[in-house]
A = this chain, B = another copy of it.
Amino acid sequence: MERQASVLLEVCVDSIQSAVNAEAGGANRLELCQALSEGGLTPSAGLLAVVKKAVSIPVFVLVRPRRGDFFYSDPEVEAMEIDIERLSEADGFVFGALKADGSVNESICRRLLAKSDGKPCVFHRAFDVSSGDAILVAKQIAALGFVRLLTSGRAKTAVEGIETIRKLLRESSGNLVIMPGSGVNPGNASIFASVGCEQVHASCKRPVGSAMVFRNECCAMGDEGEDEYTRFVTEGDIVKEIVNALR
């Protein structure tokens, strides 16, 4: 049997350092966000501009105007449309929208796809909290014109959702790339290669201490209990280990 070509690795990042480290470790593509702690939000124009200058791999941009569900108001959709227009340095866009009943909001998706100016668009994990048969929803997403689906197989992690991912790979519309994400790490990445995934998504991050010498630990900026002097940063060695596991 012929040896399979390497599986492509997309790394989601929310800082310039993470972006640079991901490329150095061998990532094939970035998904650029802000605030991965919230599951990712739309990055600022400055962050995208500097990341595009710092790396040569493609940079897809998450378009998500706030945390929480994917049930968007009309002004929120308008903000997403403007972001797609203004983040024109992106190589593609990542979004998703649902109705209150959990079905895909085709009308919002069409509005956002129309703004993307022919650039490839990815339907993200809104799929994992959508209603209806997974295969039928994936076919619907493909028919709308998305090129790829980021999914944990509707489970907490992609490993837990592996049976649904396997089914999606087998039965969903031919042109839609099924890209597992959520909890993918060097220890489990090979599972996704073995079931036939062409692409995998991971953050490859680790807590990194601040370089601040002077500290006032009593002043947190964000949520209660957050350690302001530790950040999660994508590490090149983790990226490399996943790349190796996917060979």
Residues of A within 8 A of B (CB): 14-17, 34-47, 49-50, 54, 65-69, 71, 73, 75-76, 78-84, 86-87, 98, 100-103, 125, 128-131, 152, 154-156, 210-216, 218-223, 226, 228-231
Q: Determine if B16 and A75 form an interchain contact, defined as CB atoms under 8 angstroms apart.
A: yes
Structural contact, B213 and A102, CB atoms closer than 8 A: yes
Knowing A46-B42, A50-B78, A129-B216, the reply to whether A65 touches B15 (Cβ < 8 A) is: yes
Query: How many of these chains are in the complex?
Result: 2
Q: Which of A47, A98, A210, A231 counts the most chain B CB atoms within 10 A?
A: A47
Given A16-B79, A154-B216, A218-B155; A41-B46 close (CB under 8 Å): no
Which residues of B are found within 8 Å of A66, using beta-carbon distances?
A: 14-16, 34, 231
Q: Which residue of B lies closest to A20 (CB)?
A: B75
Residue pair B17, A67 in contact (C-beta under 8 Å): no
CB pair B67–A35 under 8 Å, yes or no, is yes
Contacts of A45 in B (CB 8 A): 44-45, 82-83, 86-87
Chain B's closest residue to A49 (CB) is B82
Q: How far does the alpha carbon of A102 sit from the alpha carbon of B214 in the complex, in Å? A: 5
CB neighbours (8 Å) of A130 from chain B are 214, 216
Q: Is the CB of A156 within 8 A of B46?
A: no
Nearest CB of B to A228, in Å: 6
